[in-house]
Structure 1
Amino acid sequence: MNHERLSMRLERVAIHIPKGSVLADIGSDHAYLPCYAVSNGLCDHAIAGEVVEGPYQSARKQVAMTGLEAKIEVRKGDGLEVLNPDEATCITICGMGGTLISSILESGKEKLGTAKRLILQPNVGAANVRSWLIDNGWELSGEEILEEDGKIYEILIAEKGDPLRPYRADKKKGLMFGPYLTEQFSGTFIKKWQLEKKHLERIIQQLDESGRSGLETKRKELQSQISMIEEVLER
C-alpha cells in the first residue's frame, strides 16, 4: 500500500470524501489517505494528525516525498486537538476500535463546528460509534462492509441531520447490526454475524464449563445477542 494504491478498506473510505473538502485524517499513520485524496482531486487541502512520534515522522516523509507540502499539513497531537475550530469540513478516523473513535470524537467535538461529513472505520465496536453519532446529532447516511486480508471492516458515513432517522424500523437492531448494512444483507455481512454467533456460543460454553456461580446474568445477555443475530440472519 502507498499513496498511489491504497488498501481496499481505505479506497472505500476515500470514495466518500466530498469534492472540495478540507480533509482531516486523524490517526493518519503514513498519511497515505490524505496524499491519495489530494493527488486525485478528492479534496483541496488536508491535515494529517498523528499522536505517536514514529508514524508522525513517517507521515512527514511521505508528504515531502510526494511534493504535497503546500496542500497537506502534518500535525502532531492527540485526536482532534490537532485541528483549529471550524477548520476541517470532512474528518476521517480509520483503523481503530469503536470505543477509541467515540472517545476521540467526544473529547474534540468542539472542533466539529464546520465539519459536514464524518467517515469512520472502526475495526471493532461499530455500535459504540453509532451510539455516539445519535447522541451528538449526526445522522448516519451510509454504511459499507468489506473483507480484506481475512478481516471484516465496517465504514460509517455521517452528516448533520436527524440522528434517529435510520433507526426508525428498530433502533436496538440498527445500533448492533447497522441499519443500512442490515438492509443490504451482503454475503460479508452474513459471514460477520455467523462468526460473531459462533464466538458468543463459545463464550457461553466456557461459562458453563467454568462451574462458577453468579454468571446467569452474563449468560442471558449473551443468549439475547445470539437470538438477535439468528433473527436477523433468518430474514
Structure 2
Amino acid sequence: MKIKLSPRLEVIAGCVTGACSMADIGTDHGYLPVYLIENKGVSGAIASDINQKPLKKAQKIIDTQQLQKQIETRLGSGLSVLKPGEVEVVVMAGMGGLLIRDLLKVQPAVARAAKKLVLQPMNNQAVLRRYLETAGFLITREELAREGDRVYEIIVAEPGAMIVTTPLEYELGFEYYRHQHPLLGALIDRKIFLEQQIVASTQGRTTAVAAKQFQESSRFIEKLNEVKKCLSN
C-alpha cells in the first residue's frame, strides 16, 4: 500500500527530512512515520499515542507495510515515552498549542536533547512561540500548509537563543517579514476572519471581559490589515 499524506503532513514530513530517527508523538494513524521510513531516508521511528485505539490502527499499517523492525509503537503521554537523545527529531502535530507547551514543560530533558522539534499546533500558536523563546529554544524554520479554508502553522525549533523584534512574530511566525511564505496572506486572512467573529460576538456587550476582548481583537485586526497592506506593496 502506498501511503499518501495530506498537504499538512507532507509539509511536516519535509521538515523531518534528513534525520536518521524520529518520534511521532500523538501518531494517530501512523502515516507520518511510515511515509518517512519509506520515502525520506529515516531509518528508525517511534510512533506513540496516549490512547490504545489509534495506536492499534498505527500498528496495523506498520504491519501491513512490514516495517515492524523500523517503527516501534509506544503507549503513553507526550514525551514520557522517550529517553533523552533517543531520537533526533520529535514531531508533535495536530494538538492544541497549550497542550504541546505543557507536554514540553513536563519532559524538558527529552525536549532539549532532540536535535529538532517539529511542532504543528492547531491553535494558540503565539503562546507556544512565547514558551519556546523563554524555554531556550530557537525557531529555525516556519512553514505553512493549506487544506480547504484552514492554514496550518508548522514550527521547527532547536535549542538556542531567539530574539523577537516585534510582537507580531508570535502571531505570524518568527521573522515572518523576512521569510515571507507564499501562504502568509492566506494565514493573515484566516486570522482576520477568526478575530472578526470575536468582534461580532462581543460588540455591544457590557461585561468587562467582553469589552476587553472586543478592544483587543479590534486592535489585532488593524495590525493584521497593516501587515497585509505592506505585503501587497
Look up the match of 1:174: 169
Matching residue within 214, 227, 233 for 1:232: 227
Look up the match of 1:139: 138
Q: Secondary structure at the match of 1:206?
A: helix
Letter in 1 for 2:218: Q
Letter in 2 for 1:162: A
Q: Secondary structure at the match of 1:183?
A: coil
Letter in 2 for 1:88: V
Summarize deviations over 1:177-234 as a string: whole Å, max 9, x none: 1134343444532122223223323422332344x24343332222221222122112
Look up the match of 1:109: 108
Residues 83 and 213 of structure 1, relative CA distance in 2, 3 Å threshold: closer
Deviates more, 1:60-69 or 1:108-117: 108-117
Look up the match of 1:28: 27
Q: Give matches, 1:67-146, under 5 Å.
A: 67-146=66-145
Residue segments in structure 2 that go unaligned for 5+ positions in a row: none
1: CA distance, partners of 2:139 / 2:102: 18
Answer yes or no: is the 8 Å Cα contact 1:121–1:154 preserved in 2: yes
Aligned length: 229
Answer yes or no: is the 8 Å Cα contact 1:91–1:119 preserved in 2: yes
Residues 88 and 11 of structure 1, relative CA distance in 2, 3 Å threshold: same
Give the alignment's TM-score, normalised by structure 2.
0.89
Deviates more, 1:186-195 or 1:26-35: 186-195
1: CA distance, partners of 2:203 / 2:36: 51
Letter in 2 for 1:81: S
Summarize deviations over 1:107-134 as a string: whole Å, max 9, x none: 1222234310011111222112211211
Q: CA deviation at 1:85?
A: 2.5
Look up the match of 1:206: 201
Summarize deviations over 1:28-72 as a string: whole Å, max 9, x none: 011111111111243121000111111011111111111111111
Matched, 1:159 2:190: no
Matched, 1:59 2:58: yes
1: CA distance, partners of 2:112 / 2:53: 30
Runs of 4+ residues deviating >4 angstroms: none
Letter in 1 for 2:20: S
Q: Secondary structure at the match of 2:123?
A: coil
Residues 58 and 202 of structure 1, relative CA distance in 2, 3 Å threshold: closer
Q: CA deviation at 1:79?
A: 0.7
2: CA distance, partners of 1:178 / 1:230: 16
2: CA distance, partners of 1:122 / 1:3: 27
Residues 113 and 177 of structure 1, relative CA distance in 2, 3 Å threshold: closer
Answer yes or no: is the 8 Å Cα contact 1:97–1:124 preserved in 2: yes
1: CA distance, partners of 2:17 / 2:192: 36
2: CA distance, partners of 1:200 / 1:30: 32
Residue segments in structure 1 that go unaligned for 5+ positions in a row: none
Give the alignment's TM-score, normalised by structure 1.
0.89
Answer yes or no: is the 8 Å Cα contact 1:3–1:35 preserved in 2: no
Matched, 1:39 2:38: yes
Residues 202 and 137 of structure 1, relative CA distance in 2, 3 Å threshold: same
